[in-house]
Amino acid sequence: MANKSALRRERLWKALLAVPVLLACCAVTCGQLGVIDHARDLIAGPSEPGLHSRIRDYCEAHEEVRLSDVTDFDWDIAYVDREPYGDEKKLREKYGIVGVLEEFETDALSRIAFCRDGELVYDLVLNYSYFEVASSVEIIYPDSVFRVTQIPLEYKEKKLFLSPK
């Protein structure tokens, strides 16, 4: 057990040290391809640009949301993954997703894996502190409508909670 904990700490430190380098590489080589938007979503805080922010901005002005109204890519199904540490193998086995899914260094994250024809097109990583989808939701379709609840937090941001309409 101690070895597993030490291994996780070591992985976390390596990941933390690698993030600035990776973001710099993405900025230089992939800035025009939308990769920056995805990288920011992976570390999504409430003020980061990208899909996370588009959803938040839309939800601040609306009581309902259809995720297809705020995405700028084609998708035909999305899967909500709440596995601790983002165990991509379980999600891949369950739904047969083709593509690279990020593994998390914490259990405080979840994801919405947007797919088209079985291939991953966008991996939106969510921090439970700021954004949560109701536990009854496992699959999202482009025409799925969610009720938006904004939960006040101790600081200026609000947590978004999406539940089926």
CA pair distance 13, 28, nearest whole angstrom: 24
Bridge-based pairing state of the strands 64-65 and 77-81: unpaired
Predicted confidence at residue 22, as pLDDT, reads 47
Between 48-57, 72-81, 124-133, the lowest mean confidence (pLDDT) is in 48-57
Backbone conformation region of residue 153, classed left if phi is above 0, alpha if psi is from -120 to 50, else beta: beta
Predicted confidence at residue 106, as pLDDT, reads 81
Contact 46, 56 (CB under 8 A): yes
Kindly report the backbone phi and psi dihedral angles of residue 130, in degrees, each rounded to the nearest multiple of 5, phi listed first.
-120, -20
Name the nearest CA neighbour of 129 among 160, 93, 150, 103: 160
Is 159 in a helix, a strand, or coil? strand
CA pair distance 61, 65, nearest whole angstrom: 10
Mean pLDDT, to the nearest integer, of 17-44?
41
CA pair distance 7, 71, nearest whole angstrom: 36
Predicted confidence at residue 65, as pLDDT, reads 95
pLDDT at residue 19 is higher than 80: no
Single-letter amino acid code for the residue at 5? S
